[in-house]
Amino acid sequence: MKVVIVGGVAGGATAAARLRRLDEGAEIVVFERSGYVSYANCGLPYYIGGEITDRGELTLQTPESFRRRFNVDVRVHHEVTAIHPAEKTVEVRDLETGRTFAESYDKLLLSPGAAPVKPEIPGVDGPRVFTLRTVEDTFRIHDFIAEKAPKTALISGGGFIGLEMAENLTARGIQVTLLQRPKQVMRPLDPDMAAMLHARLRKAGVQLYLGTSAAALHPTERGVEAELTDGRRLEADMVLLAIGVQPDGSLARAAGLQVNSRGAIVVNDRMETSQPDIYAVGDAVEITHFVSGRRASVALAGPANKQGRIAADNIAGLDSRYTGAQGSSVLKLFDMTAAVTGLNEAAIKAAGLTYDKVVLTSSSHAAYYPGAKSMVVKVLFEVPTGKILGGQIVGYGGVDKRIDVLATAIRAGMTAFDLTELDLSYAPPYSSAKDPVNMAGFVMENVLTGKVRQFHWHDVAALPKDGSVVLLDARTKGEFDRGHIEGALHIPVDELRERMEELPGDKPIYVYCHSGLRSYIACRMLTGSGRECYNLSGGYSFYASVRKDQCPGPQGTGPCGLAR
């Protein structure tokens, strides 16, 4: 059996290695149009920033090492230009010599990946305008910085690459301006969680422009002038386009394979395309989202590697199935970590699911042990089942392991009630006796069982101002004096029982504290006294974070309706 693989990075390289382990006699040929295979795509920004100093560390395998270990014929600088399913051949161009030839196959695996989106605007192909997708792109940016010593950089796009490059260019001493056409960075996060990333970027000195993008890039004597869609103009020594990727399904479409409206190759759960003996994996394919059951494209290394393994199994005659991706991912942004898994609110609404959410602030480990830092945990769950639909965490330590627990819970179909029973490891330097994941389960359980009713940061503005409800701040006097929600009555939780008569018994009471814990205790007191009470999910700290991000002005400054 002869297997031809188009693309030698995550999915293609994994498939080649797996197939050899399953079939020692198969002839395996890999065509890769770049000069590198099996490289650490996710590590590219960190070479530019100086965290990774050895170029060789970016490549996990070379054509020679693949040949020695797996007996795989890897040909770099070879581009497959056409597929002929009826003849079972592909047309190939040797990019170094220009020679073209036909290569036959018994089974064909497509792993062409995705290409950086380039907007159709003037100036995108200028010498100081870059994209970052391949090792060659990385070296080009790295060498430009070394030779030209740019002082300023403009990044268009606030996804993973845009944010990682904002950090790494800042580490090189370059002043970064970041444009993002949506009004938030990192779209897998909900806007309220992304607000914390906006604050961290601004704290690091990154100039953040949300709700705008480049309409044109004009070369200047020293660099590039960007004309924005809102009419403003910005100058920079270099520009990085990081506005997303487009599935590279052009070969498949030309060969008559089924692709979706975005050009992604349609596959089934065996990674088979619409043509016999042709498989596809990675960023170029449309798969099923594990949580929503809807068709989706998930351009992440983890799913690509799993899909490559499954395709190889099926090519070798086994029966392996891909059950879908859930988009688990994590981002380092300076000293902050942001992570997601499953569905966000927009995706849940699009799927037509009935849901609720909780937001809580927890410590990365026992608060009394030195070095504990807070993390904000948001969990989305189905109502009334309590099934976990998605999780988002932003913080400074322990974020990655908590999101992985939530990812596992989603894969296992677990509910909020199951999270309360998870037996997670505990020692003061690592966690608390009640881990943040357990705590999320407790809060959701309270909501689902009616022990507490909650309101959210976006409900505050709609609260009646006519005296028909009471907004109660249950924090200390010092906290209240440093900032509070306008119109709030202040009674610290520890004084509430003695001052209960100050609160009406016939009006709903909306309570908040710093994180939601003390206000929950206050709500239980108030409910026990026969009053109707609602607890602010996430507390004042989360509310203030979102409201400050919504302030007018280019750097998010302004009163935001927060009283002092």
Structure tokens at 64: 């020679």
Q: How far apart are CA 246 and CA 114, in angstroms?
A: 5
Structure tokens at 41: 């795509």
Cα R_g (the chain), whole angstroms: 27
| Annotated active-site residue in 42, 513, 523, 560 | 42
**φ, ψ (nearest 5 deg) of residue 419:** -60, -35
- For the sheet containing 355-363, what is the strand order? 329-333, 336-342, 388-395, 374-382, 355-363
Contact 90, 80 (CB under 8 A): yes
3-state helix, strand, coil in the chain (%, to 5): 30, 30, 40
Structure tokens at 529: 């006294």
Q: How far apart are CA 562 and CA 19, in angstroms?
A: 60
Contact 27, 104 (CB under 8 A): no
Structure tokens at 77: 């600088």
28 CA to centre of own chain: 34
User: Is 523 among the catalytic positions?
Assistant: no
Contact 543, 536 (CB under 8 A): yes
Structure tokens at 347: 């995706």
Please give the full DSSP string across 151-208, using - where no structure is assigned: SEEEEE--SHHHHHHHHHHHHTT-EEEEEESSSSSSTTS-HHHHHHHHHHHHHTT-EE
Contact 443, 420 (CB under 8 A): no
Q: How far apart are CA 209 and CA 215, in angstroms?
A: 14
Half-sphere exposure of 158 (CA within 13 A, CB side): 28
> What counts of helices (H) and strands (E) characterise the chain?
15, 35
What single-letter amino acid sits at 364?
A: S
Q: Which residue has the tokens 């949580």?
A: 291
Which active-site residues does the annotation give?
A: 42
